[in-house]
Amino acid sequence: MATGASIEAKGLTKIYGEGPGAFHALGPIDLTVKPGEFVSLIGPSGCGKSTTLLLVSGLEPASEGTIAIDGKPLTDPICDVGIVFQDHLLLEFRTALKNVMLQQQIRRLDKAEMEARAARLFDRLGLAGAEDRYPWQLSGGMRQRVSIARALVHDPSMLLMDEPFGALDAITRTQIRHDLEMLWLETKKTVLFITHSIEEAVGLSDRVLVMSTGPGRIVDEIVIDLPRPRPAHLGEYPEFSAYAQRIYATFEKLGVYQFH
Ligand code: ADP
């Protein structure tokens, strides 16, 4: 099994467009993620979270700064990665299993090995029995589970997740958070996770990076020292409330929240 990759970004900046219409969206930011670490980026809409993820994947070039994956400078889109978006992006005309096996076809990997890995992931993600169902026959949570299986089936060393549970109801989110944590504990992939949810960020992460807008910067870094696996109700830890309070206070200071 592939172990987690390291990510090291320095002075990362993104300016979209050129000339008078240019828009400074991000940075400069420094970002380090250790092999096997689970790091969340949290911040208000438009602060550059998705941009950061796109830059780290190599899908979008940085305007300034450098990124190294496992010490190697990033110059092209990386293959050794799984990406999960808020929208499951499954193909409606393919069954759940065939959606996951797309990775095998596109990457021309060994079919038997990939089928065995897919079966293991279906089992771990509570999808056993759903292999032959089409996306429209699955609940929102199940569809997102299939997209997680698709992101992991080729055993990448890094998982990039952009608000993956943003469209799910609160109860489903709590369950899928736990299932993702269990899978991560087993596989120890490096995860960069984007969320608007303070509970999700603290519940899942080893470290939370808090971002500000205009242009996006990292304004706080919180090491989450809570035992794993973490419970459904994080409020049972007094430390959870302290971490959450610190993020709320940062957002209030930045003017993200204006409670009177
Ligand atoms: P977040 O994920 O935190 O909501 P994004 O990274 O999507 O933020 O966007 C950061 C800022 O950059 C936003 O103001 C957004 O409108 C802008 N932006 C994102 N992509 C582009 C693009 N391709 N061209 C121009 N501006 C963009």
Write the DSSP assignment of 208-229 as a string of letters. EEEEETTTBEEEEEEE----SS
* Residue to mutate (ligand 1; options 31, 50, 57; most atoms within 8 A of CB): 50
CB-CB contact of 211 with 218 (8 Å)? yes
pLDDT in tens, 33-88: 999 999 999 999 999 999 999 999 999 999 999 999 999 999 999 999 999 998 88
Q: Which two tokens stand for residue 6?
A: 């390291």
- 207-216 pLDDT per residue, tens: 999 999 889 9
CA distances to 22, 138, 199, 237, 249 from 56, rounded to whole Å, are 21, 31, 24, 33, 28
Q: How many CA atoms lie within 13 A of 50 on its CB side?
A: 10
In this prediction, residue 257 carries a pLDDT of 84
The confidence score (pLDDT) of residue 205 equals 98
Q: Given this model, what pLDDT does residue 2 score?
A: 73
List of E strands, 17-166: 23-33, 38-42, 64-69, 72-73, 82-84, 158-162
What per-residue confidence (pLDDT) applies to 112?
96
Between CA 190 and CA 159 the distance in angstroms is 6
| Straight-line distance from the first to the last Cα atom of the chain, in angstroms, rounded to the nearest whole number | 52
Reference 147, options 170, 182, 110, 118; nearest CA is: 118
**Residue nearest (by alpha carbon) to ligand 1 atom 14:** 46
Going from the C-alpha of 77 to that of each of 55, 60, 74, the distances in angstroms are: 9, 8, 8
Other C-beta atoms lying within 10 Å of the C-beta of residue 165: 25
C-alpha of residue 215 to centroid of ligand 1, in Å: 10
d(CA 31, CA 234): 27
Q: What is the pLDDT at residue 259? A: 81
CA distances from residue 143 to 40, 53, 254 in whole angstroms, order as listed: 22, 22, 36
Write down the pLDDT at residue 256. 87
Residue 51 to residues 48, 54, 61, 156, Cα–Cα distance (Å): 5, 5, 10, 21
Model pLDDT, residue 231? 94
Q: Is 14 in the pocket of ligand 1 (CB under 6 A)?
A: no
Determine the pLDDT at residue 111. Answer: 95
Structural domains present in the chain: 1-74+190-260 (3.40.50.300)
The answer, yes or no, to whether any atom of ligand 1 lies below 6 A from the CB of 190, is no
SS3 258: coil
pLDDT beneath 70: ranges in the chain = none
